[in-house]
Each structure stands twice: as structure tokens, then as C-alpha cells.
């Protein structure tokens, strides 16, 4: 029951990726653990067969992104998707853009660390009155989703440039540097998110890093490259809009790479077309909960939905003697357990 992390291609929707993965994996039972917009790339965790039941547990994990924020131009979608009507764009005065500095952007970015609410984009999948917000927005209907709870874990401005052409378009693990006087080589995979911690990436134009092509229309716009880690449900497009607002100029998200989703790092991802041959990840290791190991008798009881006394203090993954995921449970009243999800068959990579 595998977990397949892939590097989502630019321009493909998460639905497109799932449809392609169904053909490559030879099964209809494929889902994902957290949507990525078409104009974003990076970590998209695909789940197949019984692993699809993990989606609500993995989707709730924190996400880390590299965001290219362009100042001076606001778009209806808050990203680089061109509007049908040029009049829908908002532009900043040249003198306002000339006043932008890296220090000013960094100061404004730090103010997000205390925020607890965010207004989502009108072009989002949030439902209002039974209708997806983006569907109403594309029909030209005035719609603004209400603010929702969010959390910013970290925000760091990695680079700023008055012109897009001066901004680094790639990145590599922070602690990776080629030897002095030598040509750049491949990035050390041991320096990825497995143990690397927060802010594990830095700008790099070296071939060993990873590139990202910004839209050519941004040539004259000031841009910032920002590392941002957020709780589930936080829109980075809204972050770009709100960062510009704090600086007194319109802004939009010019590029986005998800470099981490929960415990899955970009270094763990395979290209989409290689998903069927890539080694899947251990689902138990990816869960954001502690594990409790069961003997055969207890594992059988759990899979039958019977009550077992485990002395839990929080949500826990229950694993049988062979290392297979049997259930995810929560503590209930009087020492009883509440089953959040049970797997009748063992789930291993």
C-alpha cells in the first residue's frame, strides 16, 4: 500500500497528476495528500490502494515552500496566470517600487509570524454556498472567501532583486557547496530535509541545485525569494498579496516550489513518469504521530474494532509485529480508544 512522492510538473494540476499516475500504476485507487496549483512544482504525495486512507492524516502536516514574490503587479488569481482582461491587473507607481529594499521586505515578512488568520484567494477551491470559489470568480461574480485560521512557522527572505533578471532562479541544500575551484557537481542527497530542519535551502544557480523559470513578463519587476513554512490550509498566493500590501504595492506569486510536505522532502520525490519504478516510502514513518507496537493478539483485536487498553495520551499509529500499519487511534473516555481509521490488511511500502 505505497506512498509515492513525486515532483509535480509545472503546468499540471494535481488532478492531472493523479490521472497520469493511475495509468502508470495500473490502478484507479490513487489520490494525493495536499493540492498544488498548476503554476507550482515540487512535492506532491501520491497515495495508492489502501494508502489513500492516509490522506486526511498527511494533508494536515506543515508545508515548506520557496516562493518568488513579484512586486508592482497584482493579478486576479494572485499568481502569474494572465487575466483575460488586462484591466484586471493592478500596478504600482514607479517611485513606490524604487523604494523597495531587501531589508524592508524582510521586516515586512517577519510580521507574518504572529498572524492567525488569512483571507484566501477568490480563485480557490473553497466552497461558498455549495459552489467552488474559483467557479464563481471565473463567472465574474463578486466573491471573497471569509478569513480562515492559519499559522506561519517560519518566514525568511533569501534574496531580493530590483529586477527579475538579477534574482537567483535555483536552489540547493543550504549546506552544499562545491569545492573551491571546481565545477559544480550534484547536490549531496544527505543534506535534504531528512534531518536538515528548517530553512534547508538556499539560492543557487549551480547545476547541482534546482532551477525554476520565472515568467519573462517579470523582467522589470522587483522580486523576492522567500522560504516560508506554514500550517495546512495556508495559501502562499495570499501571502504574496499580503506581503505587497504591507509594503504599499500590489504583488503576486511569480513562482512556487513546495520543498517539503510533512516528513517528505523534495529529495525524496521522483519524476512523475518514473513513479511506477521508484521505491515507495514507508507510510508509518511519514505519519506525524507516535507509534505503538502490538503483539499478534492485540493487532487482531484492533483490526476487529475491539477495545484495547493502551494508555494513550494522544493520536497514535498502531503497528503490528511485522511493522504493518493496523490503525490510527485517539484516546477516548475511561481509557478506551476511538478508531480514526483501521486497515484490515497490513500497510507497508
Q: 307, exposed or middle or buried, with CB in 10 Å at 0-12, 13-18, 19+?
A: middle
Ramachandran assignment for 283, one of left (phi > 0), alpha (psi -120 to 50 degrees), beta (any other): alpha
- Is 213 an active-site residue? no
Out of 7, 16, 37, 213, pick the active-site residue. Answer: 37
In contact, 100 and 249? CB cutoff 8 Å: yes
User: Is residue 300 within 8 Å of residue 320, measured between CB atoms?
Assistant: no
Nearest C-alpha neighbor of 307 from the set 283, 291, 324, 327: 327
Question: Would you say 65 and 39 are in contact if contact means Cβ atoms under 8 Å apart?
Answer: no
Distance of CA 267 to the CA centre of its chain: 14
- Are residues 63 and 150 in contact, defined by beta-carbon separation less than 8 angstroms? no
Q: Please give the Cα distance from 250 to 57 (Å, whole number).
A: 36
SS3 for 260-309 is EECCEEHHHCEEHHHCCCCCCECHHHHCCCCEEECCHHHHHHHHCCCCCC
* Cβ pair 46, 151 in contact under 8 A: no
Catalytic residue ranges: 37
Amino acid at each position: 500500500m505505497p506512498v509515492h512522492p513525486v515532483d509535480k510538473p509545472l503546468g499540471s494540476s494535481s488532478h492531472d497528476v493523479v490521472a497520469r499516475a493511475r495509468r502508470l500504476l495500473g490502478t484507479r485507487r490513487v489520490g494525493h495528500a495536499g493540492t498544488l496549483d498548476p503554476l507550482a512544482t515540487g512535492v506532491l504525495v501520491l497515495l495508492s490502494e489502501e494508502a489513500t486512507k492516509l490522506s486526511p492524516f498527511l494533508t494536515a502536516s506543515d508545508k515548506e515552500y520557496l516562493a518568488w514574490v513579484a512586486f508592482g503587479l497584482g493579478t486576479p488569481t494572485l499568481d502569474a496566470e494572465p487575466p483575460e482582461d488586462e484591466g484586471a491587473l493592478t500596478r504600482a507607481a514607479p517611485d513606490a517600487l524604487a523604494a523597495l529594499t531587501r531589508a524592508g521586505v524582510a521586516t515586512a515578512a517577519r510580521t507574518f509570524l504572529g498572524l492567525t488568520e488569512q483571507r484566501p484567494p477568490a480563485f480557490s477551491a473553497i466552497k461558498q454556498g455549495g459552489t467552488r470559489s474559483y467557479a464563481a470568480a471565473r463567472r465574474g461574480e463578486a466573491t471573497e472567501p471569509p478569513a480562515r485560521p492559519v499559522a506561519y512557522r517560519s518566514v525568511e527572505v533569501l534574496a531580493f532583486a530590483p529586477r527579475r533578471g538579477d534574482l537567483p532562479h535555483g536552489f540547493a541544500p543550504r549546506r552544499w557547496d562545491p569545492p573551491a575551484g571546481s565545477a559544480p557537481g550534484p547536490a549531496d542527497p544527505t543534506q535534504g530535509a531528512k534531518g536538515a530542519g528548517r530553512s534547508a535551502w538556499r539560492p543557487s544557480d549551480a547545476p547541482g541545485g534546482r532551477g525554476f523559470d520565472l515568467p519573462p513578463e517579470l523582467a522589470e519587476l522587483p522580486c523576492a525569494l522567500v522560504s516560508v513554512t506554514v500550517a495546512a490550509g495556508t495559501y502562499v498566493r495570499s501571502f504574496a498579496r499580503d506581503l505587497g500590501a504591507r509594503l504599499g504595492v500590489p504583488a503576486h506569486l511569480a513562482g512556487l516550489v513546495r520543498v517539503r510536505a510533512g516528513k517528505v522532502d523534495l529529495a525524496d520525490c521522483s519524476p512523475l513518469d518514473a513513479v511506477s519504478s521508484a521505491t515507495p516510502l514507508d507510510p508509518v514513518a511519514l505519519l506525524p504521530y507516535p507509534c505503538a507496537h502490538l503483539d499478534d493478539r492485540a493487532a487482531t483485536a484492533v483490526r476487529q474494532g475491539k477495545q484495547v487498553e493502551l494508555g494513550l495520551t494522544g493520536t497514535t499509529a498502531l503497528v503490528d509485529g511485522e511493522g504493518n500499519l493496523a490503525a490510527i487511534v485517539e484516546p477516548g473516555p475511561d481509557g478506551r480508544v476511538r478508531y480514526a481509521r483501521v486497515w484490515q490488511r497490513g500497510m507497508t511500502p
